[in-house]
Chains A and B, each alone.
Chain A
Amino acid sequence: MSQKEHWNSRLAFIMAAVGSAIGLGNVWRFPYICYANGGGAFLLPFFIALFTAGIPLLILEFTIGHWSQKPPPAAFKEMNEKWEWTGWWASCIPFLVSIYYVVIMAWCFAYMIYAINLRWGTNTESFFLHTFLRVTEGPLEFGGMSIPVILGLIAIWTMIFLVLYKGVERIGKVVLLTVPLPTILLLILTIRGMTLPGAIDGISYYLTPDFSALKNVNVWLAAYAQVFFSIGVAQGIMITYASYLKKTSDINNNAIITALADAGTSFFAGFTVFSVIGYLAASQGVGIDQLGIAGPFLVFVTYPTAISLLPAAAAIFGILFYIALLTFGIDSAFSMIEPLTAGINHRFKITKEKITAILCFVGFVLSLFFTAGNGLYLLQLMDHFVANFGLVAVGLVECILIGWFGPLHGLKNYANKTSEVHIGNWWLVLIKFIIPSVLILLLALSIIENIIHPYMDYPWFVLILVGVIPLVTIILLSILVMKRSQKEIV
C-alpha cells in the first residue's frame, strides 16, 4: 500500500520535488519568456509571482499530502466526500501531459545519439522537420511514423517503469543522480557558452531591462503563468510526493526550497541558452529575433546549428546538452505517472508493480499517436489546451474548494506545527483571493483568445478532438469513479 511508503530522507523528498518541478520548460520556456517580456525587468513580476502564487500553492499541496498521507483522490475525499473527483482529475492531468512529454524526451534521446557525429548536418531545420520527424503539411495528414522516435519512446517508458514500479524508495535514490547531474552539466555548458564570441551580446538581450514592459498587464500575467506551469502544482504530483513524508517532517521550508531551486534553475538556464544564441547570431550575422529561441525549435534547430559551428569538441558539447535535457525531463516524467499510480493503488488495491506496468504500456501506446508525421502539430495543440485550460482549471478549483469551503485555517495551523518557517494569515488571503483571481483572469483571457483566434487556425473539429475531448473525458471519468465509490459505500 502506498501510504506505508516513506522517503528515505528529507533530501530525497526535496530532490524528488525539485526534480519534478524542473523540466524541459526551465530551459526552453523561461529564458524566452523573460526575453520577450521586458528582459531583466521581468524578474520583478517573476519574483512577485513566485512569492505570492508559486510558494503558497506549493505549501498548500505539500500540506494536503502531508496531512492526509494519501494520494490526491483520497486526500480530497478526506476533506469532503464529494471532492474525490477533483483528486482524480488532478491526477489524470499529468498522465495526459506525460503522453506527449515523453515524446519530446524521445526526441532528446535520438538527438543525444545524433550528436556523436553531428548527424543533423548544416540544415538543422530540414533535418528536424523532414528527415527526423517527417512532418506532414498539417494536423490532418498522418504521414509515416518515425522509427527513431518509437525506439526513443520504448527506452524512456522502460526507464519510467523501472524507476516507478519499486515504489518511492527507488524514486528517492534515482533523483539523487537525476537532479544534480543536469545542473552540473548546465554549469559546464554555460561556462563553455560564455567563452564563445557574441555570448555577452546574447546575455545582454536576456537581461537588459525594459522597465516600460511592467506597465503591461500581460507581462504580469506571463509571470504568474510561468511560475504556475513551472513549479508543478495543480497536477496532484506534489500532493502525492508529500503524502510519502513522515508526520514529523517539515512542510513550509521544503516548499520554499523547492520553488526557489526551480526558479534558480530557470534563471541559470537563461545563461546557457542566451550565451549560445548570442554566439550563433554573431556567427551568422543575424539578429537574435530571427532565431528560434523557444520550445522545440530552440532545442532541435537553433541549438544543433550552434553546436555544429563550435570550433572544438562540438560532439561532446552536443551529447552533454541532450543528456542534461534528458535527465531534467526524466524525473518530471516519472512524477507525472506517480499520482495516478498511487491513486489507483490506494483505491482499487492493485499492486504498484501491476498498475505501473499497465499505465506505462497505455502511455506508450498513446504516445505512438505523436510519432506520425502530424505528431508535432498534435503535440503542440494538446500542450496548448492542457496548459492553458486543464492546469489552470485544476488550480482554480483547488483554491476555491479548499480556500472557500475547505479546512484552510486548519491546514495553515497543521503546516505551522511541523515547519521550521511559519506562515501567517497572508497565506489565507493569497489562497482565497489573490491566486484564484489571477487564475480566473488567465483562464478568461485564454478562452477569449482561443475563440477570437482559434489555435493556429486549425479546423474546429481538430481543436475539439485533440484539445477539448481529452480534458472533458478525464473530468467525466473522475466523476464516474467517484460516483462508483459512493455507490459501493451505500
Chain B
Amino acid sequence: MLPVSAIIMLLVGIIVIYGSLAYFLFIAFRKKKNG
C-alpha cells in the first residue's frame, strides 16, 4: 500500500496538471477559433 503522503502527492499532481489541462482545453474548445 502506498504511504498516505505519497497518495496526497499523487492527488496533488493529478489535480494540478490534469485539472489545469482539462480546464484550459475546455476554454480552447468552447470558443471556436481557427488554428
Residues of A at the B interface (CB closer than 8 Å) are 7-14, 39-41, 43, 47, 200, 203-204, 206-209, 245-246, 248-250, 253-254, 256-257, 260-261, 263-264, 267, 420-421
Q: Which residues of B contact A10 (CB under 8 A)?
A: 28, 33-35
Name A260's closest neighbour in chain B (CB-CB): B21
Q: Which residue of chain A has its CB nearest to the CB of B10? A: A207
User: Contact mask B1-34 → A, CB, 8 Å, 1/0?
Assistant: 1110110111011001110110011011001011
Are A249 and B33 in contact, CB atoms less than 8 angstroms apart? Answer: yes
- With both beta carbons as reference points, the residue of chain B lying nearest to A418 in the complex is identified as B33
Q: Across the interface, which residues of B come within 8 angstroms of A13, CB to CB?
A: 35
Chain B residue numbers with a CB within 8 Å of A206 are: 6
Residues of B within 8 A of A260 (CB): 17, 20-21, 24
Q: B1, B5, B35: which has the most chain A beta carbons within 10 Å?
A: B35
Q: List 11 A-B contacts (CB under 8 A).
A: A11-B35, A14-B35, A39-B6, A40-B6, A40-B10, A40-B13, A206-B6, A250-B33, A260-B20, A264-B21, A420-B31
Determine the distance from Cα of A11 to Cα of B25 in the docked complex, in whole angstroms.
11
Determine if B18 and A264 form an interchain contact, defined as CB atoms under 8 angstroms apart.
yes
In Å, the complex CA distance between A276 and B6 comes to: 18
Choice from B5, B13, B28 contacting A253 with Cβ under 8 Å: B28
Contact A420 B33 (CB under 8 A): yes
By beta carbon, the residue of chain A nearest B32 is: A10
Q: Which residues of A are found within 8 Å of B33, using beta-carbon distances?
A: 10, 248-250, 420
- Chain A residue with the shortest CB-CB distance to B21: A260
Complex Cα distance, B34 from A30, in Å, reads: 33
A261, closest chain B residue (CB)? B21
Say yes or no: A209-B24 contact (C-beta < 8 A), given A246-B34, A249-B35: no
Q: Which of B2, B9, B27 contacts A420 (CB 8 A)?
A: B27
Distance from B35 Cβ to chain A, minimum over Cβ atoms (Å):
3
- Cβ of B29 to closest chain A Cβ, rounded Å: 9
| Chain A residue with the shortest CB-CB distance to B33 | A250
A66 to chain B, nearest CB (A): 11
Contact across chains for A253 and B27 when beta carbons are under 8 A apart:
yes
Asked if residues A263 and B35 are in contact (CB atoms below 8 Å), the reply is no
Contacts of B31 in A (CB 8 A): 420
Please, which residues of chain B bring their CB within 8 A of the CB of A256?
Answer: 20, 24
Bound Cα distance A452, B8 (Å): 40
Question: B residues within 8 A CB of A420?
Answer: 27-28, 31, 33
> Cα distance A253–B20 when bound, in Å?
11
Q: In the docked arrangement, what's the CA distance between A14 and B17, Å?
A: 17
The CA-CA distance from A8 to B9 in the complex, in Å, is: 39
Given A261-B21, A421-B24, A208:B5 Cβ within 8 A:
yes
**CB distance B6 to A209 under 8 Å?**
yes
Smallest Cβ distance from B16 to chain A, in angstroms? 6
Decide if A9 touches B35 in the complex (CB within 8 Å): yes
Q: Is the CB of A249 within 8 A of B34?
A: yes
Other-chain residue from A9, A11, A12, A208 in contact with B6 (beta carbon distance below 8 A): A208
**Which residue in chain B gives the minimum CB-CB distance to A43?**
B13
Return chain A residues, CB-CB under 8 Å to B34: 9-10, 246, 248-249
Q: Report whether A263 and B17 are in contact in the complex, using a CB–CB cutoff of 8 Å.
A: yes
Q: Across the interface, do B27 and A207 meet the contact criterion of CB distance under 8 Å?
A: no
A41 cross-chain contacts in B, Cβ below 8 A: 9
Contact indicator A204/B35 (Cβ below 8 Å):
no
Residues of chain A with a CB closer than 8 A to B21's CB: 257, 260-261, 264
